[in-house]
Structure 1
Amino acid sequence: MRVLTDILEEGAAKFGDRTAIVFGEQSLTYRELLDAVLRLTARLQKLGLQPGDKIAFLDENSLEFPVVVFAAAMAGGVFVPVNFRFGADEIAYVVNDARPGLLLVSATYRPVADRARSDFADDVKVLDVPSVAALLAASDAPQPDRPTIEPDSPAMVMYTSGTTGFPKGALLSHGAYIANINAIAAAGELAADDRVMVSLPMFHNGGLIAVLMPTLSLGALAVIMPRGFEPDAVLAVVERHSISATMWVPTMLSMLVNSDAIGSRDVSSLKKIWYGSSPIAPGLLEQVRAAFDADLYQFYGMTETGMTSVLTPDDHRLHPQGTGRQMDPAELRLVDDNGDDAPVGEVGELLSRQTPLGMTGYLGNDDETGKTVVDGWIHTGDMARNLGDGYFVIVDRKKDMIISGAENIYPREIEIALAAHPDVAEVAVFGIPDAVYGEAVCAAVVPAQGAALQPDDLVAWSAARLASYKKPKRVLLLDELPKNAAGKVLKHALKAPFWRVEKRAI
């Protein structure tokens, strides 16, 4: 089994003069990428980086990002990406939790890193990351030491989305990442002649492990997009670089298909659209099909497991509202509260295992690791319905289930019903306190542009499609839903005002 640096070195050996990465007007061949990584590795070792040491990096998507990732791996270090959207307190939390010896930071984020520095528990070196241009222009090019890296060596501490509180650092090995990278490339039918857009942030699995690494592992072209997601700019890059494959989250897809630019750009080169991170509304799926002549692939996974299932283009026709079925090397189970397999048609918690196992554990958090990894199975906390023949559909997070009276209510079912309303752009359903039933259903809705939507309209719409106990008791009309960097709705932020008053929380 390979390790992460093998992707880099095999690429340089096989495809040396082929362009590996484009970022704006800058580009690197596979050979230049390796050269930049070797030079940065030597500099990091000169600063004292030893095998097993952690090195954190704070930056948005950039040409430097993959160079730092590979340099950390080549030195035998453990890479810790930091969310560039974090404020000083959040940066300090991650640094104090991961305890890296070195924090590299781009010039853009140096001010916030300096503000966070006073709260660092340890004496962490905070240094500016050298530009790729400066690395390659330097007259000296010392060769770095090359420690032995094994597949079970730790590769990264990737922090979870933190949708319910402080993020946890999931420690994953080189072998776990390589297995997932290979699986994604195969399931997504990626090829060496693909031209792949990387628009998801690379401090998360989505941008780094699910898109960039599979692209480089095949010798394909990665076109990295900068921070922000502007539909016209994105579609212009698709046209300019003849992008053939990409991964977007449903929010991005909605922005694209509702943009005026969608009809003015040539997007005929785009043949593979991967999506994931959050459920997609049936209406949006049809809009995407109408706007792009592309095959659709839905991936499901989490920070702790990597991608573990796929809904292929053929599967979209068989199970249009499904999430997918397991993809090698992952093995998935749906279990009830007793740990027994959930029968077809029933809901159970989704468990995942594979060899090598996704995460080794949560960094410095044995209690949470013990709750999550049981007998070799990672408990995802996602509830899914068994559709038969290995297919499943996520119905909700286990913690988001609403218990109203004696009924278990899965918000996702209500969200699907409300999302079908023509005047609804986005919706999130959650539980709020109820004096009689314990919890009641509340829906936060973003109306479609120009729609004159009223709460009573949505209650009536729900009543015609759902059991009476599932219809919302309250509807909030909002300009936007709170989301994290991965595009996932922060339901705890929606719930918090209601449960603060109640002084209790589910």
Structure 2
Amino acid sequence: MAGVFHQCGQSICKRTRDEMDERARIIAHALAEQGVCDNDVVAIFMRNHVDIFEIVEACRYVGSRYVLLNWHSPIVELVPILDDCGAKVLFAHRDLLKGENDLKPLSLVPTLSAIYTIKTPKSILERYHLTDNSLLASEPKAGEQYQCFDTLLAAPNAKRHSKPPKRFKGMFPYTSGSTGKPKGIKRDEDLTRPDPYLIFKGLSEALMQLSIGDRFFVSAPLYHSAPHALTLCCLAAGNIDVYIEPQFDPERFLQDIERFKLTHAYIVPTMMVRLLKLPESIRSKYDTSSLRFALSTGSALPGDVKEAMINWFGPIFYESYGASELGFMTLISSQEALEKPNSVGKPIPGAALKILSDNKEACEVGDVGVIYAHLSMFAPFKYTNTTGTPSDLHVGEFTTLGDMGYVDEDGYLYICDRKKDMIISGGANIFPAEIESVIIEMPEVADCAVFGVSDAEYGEKVVVAVQCSPGNTLSIDTLHGYLGGKLARFKWPKMLQILDALPREDTGKIFKNKLRAQFSQ
């Protein structure tokens, strides 16, 4: 049966689209009762679960936007976001609310009229080794700000929203705060453009190559724009099965492919590296032949990693360059990637790119400059929670997020690095992503990040932070020995840090400001 959402775990929870719509209408009625209407905001503080997309559908019925909150964050870090976006209602898994210490800060958000606590499903408790499923001091009482989501849906006479869905307002994402406090990305409502819900439906075919009966897997945190948007494409398509895992585990992923005959998956580079480091006995144990499309975005995918994955699974891997502010901008297939190593592809239909110099002049083919993009299908955005917008963010209809790259003679885009991450040492431009793609291949290295710090002689010097693989260690001399013949000497790190773990998001984005901060104290 196509179009079913599956919550993965030891026992599989299945929801048909009719069941999801029924629950969404109950939630939508409750939102309307709380005064939620056009362009209001609903906040979602939940681990990966099917319920998220029922709440999203409910928001479509009442015409509200929704903010997906990073559940790794403590409440005190989320309160400013709730305050900035003006959230009226919050949905939260109960294990994420730590009693009065969390409820008290939430009571200070002036716009918040209701908090629906959701019993954390057994599949999530098992995966995260949690035992306490009712961390609130007591069940919410009727009439109080705190409501019980499960009771709402289980009520025998629950009222349902009776009107058709409104124009989809979509996700109201916030940046991760890697360069400061999180900023809201609020898209203008432009009635001259198609309903965004129809755009996501179109992307299910144009970007994801989905067709009736396909089965899509996602385990990356759904508060991130890319995995959420791709799952939303499946919801909008209406005829795709979706398998939601609470978190990524490399062997379990292989098991899921065999068990559910998965056809499509969202896999980021850090997941690929973990898969490639599995013993050959595990890698060859499962039948993965059903998988025919896997998309990566969100962080740089090293060419060697991509090639190794293609050699293992076949030419099923696609990479896209995208951003929360703009959406998916390019796409490249496995066949193209083998011919154009390290490229992220050409613009998708409706997208256009420009490579401009610092003085806003067009760069020649092959010259590195700042990447500007325009996607005709999405309305422009504005940042909230910020004191100003950089003057060079926009050039006409084109927008940059500070990434640097170049376009070759065939129109393929290559990303060099973030402009803010580029290291200028002794007058030479050094791109950390290039160095990281070489170091990550060392057997001693499980994870790495390259960044620049101030240096009296050269302006900046190259530093690498490394998380060693189990049972291994690393010295700067061993590192330099490995880099010989692979990178020019001026790109070699001058300093090596060994850390237990790097401050990296599950999707691969690393907080380099936290690594640099150690050198500025």
TM-score (structure 2 length as normaliser): 0.85
Match of 1:233 in 2: 252
Do residues 22 (structure 1) and 39 (structure 2) align?
no
Do residues 92 (structure 1) and 79 (structure 2) align?
yes
Match of 1:166 in 2: 181
Find the aligned partners of 1:348 and 1:462 in 2 and give their Cα distance. 27
Q: How does 1:93-492 map to 2 (within 5 A)?
A: 93-111=80-98, 115=102, 117-118=104-105, 120-129=108-117, 137-144=154-161, 146=163, 149-150=166-167, 154-172=169-187, 175-176=195-196, 178-179=198-199, 182-183=202-203, 185-214=205-234, 216-226=236-246, 228-260=247-279, 261-293=282-314, 295-357=316-378, 359-363=380-384, 365=386, 367-368=388-389, 372-492=393-513
Residue 34 of structure 2 contacts residue 113 of structure 2 at CA under 8 Å; is this kept in 1? no
Do residues 73 (structure 1) and 60 (structure 2) align?
yes
Q: Which runs of 5+ in 2 are unaligned?
A: 120-148
Task: Give 3-state SS (helix, strand or coil) of 2:170's partner.
Answer: strand
Residue 395 of structure 1 deviates from its aligned partner by 0.9
Distance 1:220 1:135, change over 3 A: farther
Find the aligned partners of 2:73 and 2:509 in 1 and give their Cα distance. 16
Greater shift, 118-127 or 77-86, is seen at 118-127
Find the aligned partners of 2:433 and 2:349 in 1 and give their Cα distance. 27
Greater shift, 60-69 or 265-274, is seen at 265-274
Find the aligned partners of 1:237 and 1:156 in 2 and give their Cα distance. 28
Residue 403 of structure 1 deviates from its aligned partner by 1.5
Q: Deviations over 1:434-465 (max 9, x none)?
A: 11112111112333444453211222443533
Aligned amino acid, residue 115 of structure 2? L
Find the aligned partners of 1:42 and 1:437 in 2 and give their Cα distance. 63
Aligned amino acid, residue 88 of structure 2? G
Task: Give 3-state SS (helix, strand or coil) of 1:368's partner.
Answer: coil
Residue 218 of structure 2 contacts residue 231 of structure 2 at CA under 8 Å; is this kept in 1? yes
Q: Deviations over 1:46-98 (max 9, x none)?
A: 12212221111110111210011110121011111111111122111211221
CA RMSD of aligned residues (A): 2.6
Residue 159 of structure 1 contacts residue 167 of structure 1 at CA under 8 Å; is this kept in 2? yes
Q: Deviations over 1:5-54 (max 9, x none)?
A: xxxxxxxxxxxx74420113211111111111111111111122122211
Q: Which runs of 5+ in 1 are unaligned?
A: 1-16, 501-506
Find the aligned partners of 1:324 and 1:495 in 2 and give their Cα distance. 31
Match of 2:28 in 1: 41
Count of matched residue pairs:
481
Residue 317 of structure 1 deviates from its aligned partner by 2.2
Find the aligned partners of 2:103 and 2:381 in 1 and give their Cα distance. 29
Greater shift, 361-370 or 51-60, is seen at 361-370
Aligned amino acid, residue 43 of structure 2? A
Match of 1:3 in 2: none
Match of 1:5 in 2: none
Find the aligned partners of 1:366 and 1:378 in 2 and give their Cα distance. 19
Distance 1:271 1:134, change over 3 A: farther
Find the aligned partners of 2:28 and 2:39 in 1 and give their Cα distance. 14
Residue 198 of structure 1 contacts residue 246 of structure 1 at CA under 8 Å; is this kept in 2? yes
Query: Once the two structures are aligned, what percentage of the paired residues are identical?
Result: 28
Aligned amino acid, residue 325 of structure 1? K
Residue 277 of structure 1 contacts residue 487 of structure 1 at CA under 8 Å; is this kept in 2? yes
Distance 1:498 1:304, change over 3 A: same
Find the aligned partners of 2:44 and 2:182 in 1 and give their Cα distance. 16
Find the aligned partners of 1:239 and 1:354 in 2 and give their Cα distance. 37
Distance 1:49 1:22, change over 3 A: same
Match of 2:136 in 1: none
TM-score (structure 1 length as normaliser): 0.87
Q: Deviations over 1:340-381 (max 9, x none)?
A: 222222111111112244542113547227653442221121
